Amino acid sequence: MPMLDILWTHSVIVRLQNGTEKSFASIHDTIDFLENEWPTQRGDYYDAALVSCRHALARQTPPAVSRELFSSACLEAGFVIRGGIFPKSLGYKPMQPTSDHLKI
């Protein structure tokens, strides 16, 4: 039985390397992107975002945490994003991935 999707309250809009923009409004869309379309360079935020999204589907992590970790992973990969993320010049500090975010 497939798990129900979870929608975020605000989409994350990512400008891809080819210049097109893609909007992410749900956990399933985000997991699909992380697993199938992500560039080869993957960091700690990528790992934490993927695990967190899976946990959100299982109702073990708040969706807002997954959204923030996904946004941080996008920034880490050099994507330009829109959708409620604030630049460091305005005091934005991305959530730091922890060992709890990486537990499967």
- pTM exceeding the 0.85 threshold for the entire prediction: no
What are the domain boundaries of the chain?
A: 7-90
Q: If we measure between CA atoms, which residue out of 15, 11, 22 comes closest to residue 75? A: 15
Digit-by-digit pLDDT tens for the chain (104 residues) are 456 889 988 899 999 888 899 999 999 999 999 999 998 788 899 999 999 999 999 999 999 999 999 999 998 898 988 765 444 444 445 556 665 555 54
| H or E stretch at 36 | helix 27-36
- What DSSP designation does 91 have? T
Show the beta-strand stretches assigned E in the chain. Answer: 7-15, 21-26, 80-82
Contact 62, 52 (CB under 8 A): no
How far apart, in whole angstroms, are the C-alpha atoms of residue 7 and residue 27? Answer: 6
